[in-house]
Structure 1
Amino acid sequence: MNTNEPKRNASQYRDAIFIVTEERSCPIYNVGEEFKVENMALIVPEGKAVCLLMVRELMKAVAEKKSLERFSPSGVQKVKFECGGCTGLIRFEFKKEKGFATLQMKLLAAAEQKARMRHLDKFYDVLRKLEIFEPLTEDSLRDLSAQLQLKEYDAHKIILKKGDPGTSLYIVLEGRVAVIGDEGQTLSEMTVGDIFGEMSLLSGEPITTSIHSRERTRLATLSSKDFKHTLNRYPVLQVFFYRLLVERAQANTLRAGTISSGMTGRLSDINAVELFQLINSSQKTGKVLLVLDDGNATVAFNEGELVKTQYKELSGKEAFFALLAKSDGTFTYTSGLSAEEKQLEVIGGFMGLVMEGMRRVDEQQA
Structure 2
Amino acid sequence: MGFPKISFRVCETRHCPLFRYGDVLQISGIAIGMENNGENTFLSTTMVHSPPGRGNCKILNGDLTKVIIEYERADQIPDCMISCSGCTGSIRLEHIRDTPAEPVCTAEAIRLAELAPTLSTFSFFRNIDQGSFSKVLTSFRMKQLKKNEIILRKGEPGGKFYVVLSGQVDILNDAGIPITHLTTGEVFGEMSLICDENIGATVQAASDCQLLYTGQQHFKSLLQNFPALHTYFTRLLARRLTDSNKVRSDDYASGMIGKLEEIPPEALFQTLNANQKTGILTINHLSKGTARCSFRQGALIKASYAGSRGEAAFYEILREKQGRFKFSPGLPPEDFDIPEIGYFMRLLMEGLQRIDERTPPRGTG
Give the TM-score normalised by the residue count of structure 1. Answer: 0.38
Give the TM-score normalised by the residue count of structure 2. Answer: 0.38
